[in-house]
Structures are given as C-alpha cells and as structure tokens.
Amino acid sequence: MNPVKAFEEERKIEIEQMGKDKDFCQESAKWLQASVKQKYSYNFKWLGRPIIQYPQDMVAIQEIIWDTKPDLIIETGIAHGGSLIFHASILELLGGKGQVVGIDIDIRSHNRSEIEKHPLYKRIAMVEGSSVDENTVAQAGKYAQGKESVMVILDSMHSHEHVLKELELYSPLVSKGCYLVVLDTVIEFLPVELYPGKPWGPGDNPYTAVHEFLKSNKRFVIDRPITDKLQITVAPDGYLRCVSD
C-alpha cells in the first residue's frame, strides 16, 4: 500500500479505537469541564485578534477548510473577530477569492475597528443584525449567490430555539461536501451552574437543537470521527457534513 494511504488508514483505526475508550473519553470530559470554569478558551489569539475557541476545534476547522476549500464561510457570532481572521487566513493560504461573512447582532465599534484594519480584512465582510432576522439572512444569501462551495458556522446565541432557527435558515446555503458546524453543543453535558442567568443550559442548547434538526433534515450527517479524535471539543455532534444537494 502507498505509505501515505497506509498512514491515513492506520490513523482512522486509532481514532475509532480512541472514540470507544470510555475511560479516556471520561477523562477528556472531566478536563474540559474544569477548563470551562477557568475560562480557558478566552486565552488565545489568532494573528493578533482574540479568538474564543479551543485550539482543538481550531485545528479541526482548519482541516475542514483546507480539505473542502469553500468559496464562502458564513459565521454567526463575531465577538472580537478572531474567528473571522482565522478563517480568512486559511482561505488566503488556499489562494483564490474565498470570502468570510460574519454576522452579529451587535458589532462593537472597537472590535469592528480592529477587524477592519487587519491585513486579512480584504477577505471579510460583516453584517450587523440578528442572525435569524429575515433581512440578515437575505444579506447572507446574496453573498452565497454564485458560490460553488459554502460552509456555515453557528456560534451566536446558544438557546435551543435560536440555534434551531439558525439551522433551518442557514442549512440550505451549505453545499454538498461542505460542513455546517454548530459550536457549544457541549453545554448539554456541563453543569447548569456554569451558565447563571443565561437562557440556555442542559436540555436547551445547540446540542438539543442539532438533534431536533436532524430528525427531519437528511442532508446532513454527524461526522463523529472528528470529535473522536479531538476529545477536547466544544462541539460534540456539532460537525455536520452535507451529503446531498
């Protein structure tokens, strides 16, 4: 066998075995829960901008972008803009005209200013408005027009109702072979006291929305080997691969 293919096959087997190792998975979950209490994900930057993500998920999303080469990445939730810069940087390495569209109900002026003066802003557009408002969705749809390959990442408000609505509105934009990534599904498995005053928690979060969505939408399947290999991830069952037009 070709040594490159042999390495890939060996890796697939090891990832599958790791995903079945209950003790290892439990230790990973225990560490993740402890890290949330420490606000671990707030500690990193990407090319100068804060990116409130776990490094493991960043690596997974980088792999997806590199492999699928989307013409457009739509992300709900901007915050400091680190994720927008991150996605734009991978598209820049790929070459071509790939673009990132960030959507947020409140793009704070200091964050907008920092994003707009970044060298990679040439690949970024921002839309201010609720991600589930029809005008906002229409604007996202305009960016998607004529694009052969579109990826969507959902990372705004984390309630079941909101994420389910986002899934219904943005999933039609995702191209076959590309991904719809739903972040913070891990809320389902964390103690409710970690989210005081929040309109989400166990039983009402992106994870429950994903599984409700998949009951009726057959265009997407959960790519579990991704989270099997990550172990430390905010998106269990959140990496959805589009398998049909």
What CATH number corresponds to the domain at position 38? 3.40.50.150
What is the average pLDDT across 68-91?
98
Whole-model pTM?
Answer: 0.97
pLDDT band at 206 (very low <50, low <70, confident <90, very high): very high
State how far the Cα of 129 lies from the Cα of 139, in Å rounded to an integer: 10
What is the tens place of the pLDDT at every residue in 104-133?
999 999 999 999 999 999 999 999 999 999
What is the tens place of the pLDDT at every residue in 27-73?
999 999 999 999 999 999 999 999 999 999 999 999 999 999 999 99
pLDDT at 85: 98
Q: Is 132 in contact with 164 (CB distance < 8 Å)? A: no
Residue written as tokens 């042999």?
6
What is the tens place of the pLDDT at every residue in 155-173?
999 999 999 999 999 999 9
Q: What percent of the chain has pLDDT over 70?
A: 100
Q: Is 73 in contact with 61 (CB distance < 8 Å)? A: no
State how far the Cα of 10 lies from the Cα of 235, in Å rounded to an integer: 25
pLDDT at 1: 75
Q: What percent of the chain has pLDDT over 90?
A: 98
Region of 96 on the Ramachandran plot (φ > 0 left; ψ -120 to 50 alpha; else beta): left
Range of the domain at 129: 3-242
Give the number of domains in the chain.
1
